[in-house]
Amino acid sequence: MKKNIVLFVLFILPIVAYLFFASGVNSFTKLPVITSKIPDLGEWKSLNGEKVSLDNKITILGFSGTEILKNRGNYFNLNEKIYQRYHDFKDLQFVVVSPLGTEKEVKVVVDALGAFTDVSQWHFVFANPEEIKSYFGQLKLKGSLNPDFGTPNVYIVDKERNLRGRKEQKEYKEGYNTFHPAELSNEMLDDFKIILYEYRAALKKNHNATKQL
């Protein structure tokens, strides 16, 4: 008996501990809600003149600002690290709020992405700067927009329009900086997988409940 206990402590317990910490604490919890029920996008329209809604979609939400061409590398980072892996998921969309008057610059970025990616899940919607500033304020975040009405951060919004983020010590991580590929590959990808797991678990639960009925 003692021999078995010693073997467990020496070999099995370290492996279990490694798997726990390697998976990350967030992998064992739901991703916290930062702001509940953020507003929908209303009448704002995309490059194609279509309305875009946050309802019933997992949304990666961004704000391009007027300097989108200067910061276009951020969108290539996001496209490579997150979008290309999951854009076939029909309930996912990438929505970027852009100032009116930047349509030509946005089209340049979209066309460049489209050269090697199916961009059907990318949606750039347009509003005047004051509307964008007001909308961002309703997200109730500690961060703020840059003077050009944009930010390098993107945010995860679930299908009920709750803005989600990870808890880091005593504070919440509100967004993910697209300027840093490592942050997208590690923190954002980890948190995004949690949202997908929640969604798939809910689908499985509803499917089982329907079968029981």
Q: What is the pLDDT of residues 106-138, one digit of tens each?
A: 999 999 999 999 999 999 999 999 999 999 999
Instruction: Confirm or reject CATH 1.10.12.10 for domain 28-212, answering yes or no.
Output: no
- How many alpha carbons lie under 13 Å from residue 135 in its C-beta half-sphere? 23
Q: What is the pTM of this model?
A: 0.83
Give residue for tokens 């970027």.
96
Q: What is the pLDDT of residue 166?
A: 86
Place of tokens 């090697």: 116
Residue whose C-alpha is closest to residue 156's, from 22, 67, 60: 60
Phi, psi of 194 (to 5 degrees): -65, -45
Query: Which residues does residue 51 pair with via DSSP β-bridges, in sequence order?
Result: 45
Per-residue model confidence (pLDDT) at position 80 = 97
**CA-based Rg of the chain, rounded to a whole angstrom?**
20
* Residue ranges in the chain whose pLDDT is less than 70: 1-29, 169, 205-213
Cα–Cα–Cα angle for 36, 76, 127, rounded to 5 degrees = 50
